[in-house]
Structure 1
Amino acid sequence: MISLKESLGKVTIVDFWASWCGPCRQENPNVVALYKELHGKGLNIIGVSLDKDAKAWKDAIAKDKLTWNQVSNLKFWDEPIAAQYKVESIPATFILDAAGNVVAKDLRGEALRAKILELLAK
């Protein structure tokens, strides 16, 4: 069990994805690189999967080398965390500042990196 409240005080990316989502998996190498570069400077990531097959989900985590916390209730589109964030398509990312406020969403690649660097500099 992990809680988003435990992430307060850190810049956090809440990343909604699934093993079967091609665009999600294509973005994973960028997120892995960002995490390796900036985790030591205060970046936190929580992956929230919309998978329904535990093996496929865990295999994707291993294959894509996702080393941050991952959660899933294995409820596909009925994932309660996705409902809380009103996620209607994936990939979906929410960037939270150190106070836990959503300050940006659905950024990818260099735009995501730039926003994280800006928040970490505060």
Structure 2
Amino acid sequence: MARVTAEYPDAEIAQRTQSSERRSERIGKPIEFTFKDAINGRTISLQKDLRGKVVVIEFWSTQCGPCVAELPKLKGLYNEYKGMGVEFIGVSLDEASEEGRKAVRDFVQKNRIEWLQSHGEDADEFVSSWDITLIPTVFVVDTKGNLHSVEGRGRLDSLIPELLR
């Protein structure tokens, strides 16, 4: 892959590989994210309000088929670990407009999603700072507020209990 990224730096696969490598370099380091919850309007700081908890951050969209397909699994994990020191945050990539906000709220309400949701300017800045181009993408943050995984998708069944020990 190094040869491909060196010879074809503008190719989409090269750019995605470089983005993934940059994210991986931040594993083990503190991750900060402050946002206004899109549902209740409360301001949440990952480091101040959620420190001491395992935090699952899912980048998603109401228009993303794989995101919607994974929702039952996420809801099951959320319900299993609710009240046990685990928080979930949805970071919506839906358009940062009134229409986008309504789509997120309606989707969350219809699907009875109980966890925190970031949408709009805060979400857009966070997504941009992490160069998220594919969804769903799942990050996992440890109880010290450090990034543990940028590839949590499909691995939450093992990552969450590991971090709660």
Report the TM range for the smaller structure's normalisation.
0.7 to 0.9
Is 1:120 aligned to 2:164, yes or no? yes
Q: Which has the larger radius of gyration?
A: 2
Specify the code of the residue in structure 2 equivalent to 1:86: D
C-alpha displacement of 1:100: 1.2
- Assess if the C-alpha contact under 8 Å between 1:11 and 1:95 holds in 2: yes
What's the TM-score, normalizing by structure 2?
0.66
Hey, which bits of structure 1, 4+ residues long, moved more than 6 A?
none
Where do 5+ consecutive residues of structure 2 fail to align?
1-42
Where do 5+ consecutive residues of structure 1 fail to align?
none
Is 1:70 aligned to 2:113, yes or no? no
Kindly tell me the number of residue pairs found equivalent between the two proteins. 118
- Assess if the C-alpha contact under 8 Å between 2:137 and 2:153 holds in 1: no
What's the TM-score, normalizing by structure 1?
0.88
Q: Name the residue aligned to 1:106.
A: 151
Pick 1 or 2: higher relative contact order, CA cutoff 8 A, min separation 6: 1
- Distance of 1:107 and 1:73 partners within structure 2: 23
User: Matched residue of 1:9: which SS?
Assistant: coil
C-alpha displacement of 1:67: 0.2
Is 1:54 aligned to 2:101, yes or no? yes
> Cα deviation per residue 1:55-109 (whole Å; 9 max; x = unaligned)?
211111112221011111169xx81111122211111110000111111123334
- Assess if the C-alpha contact under 8 Å between 1:54 and 1:74 holds in 2: no
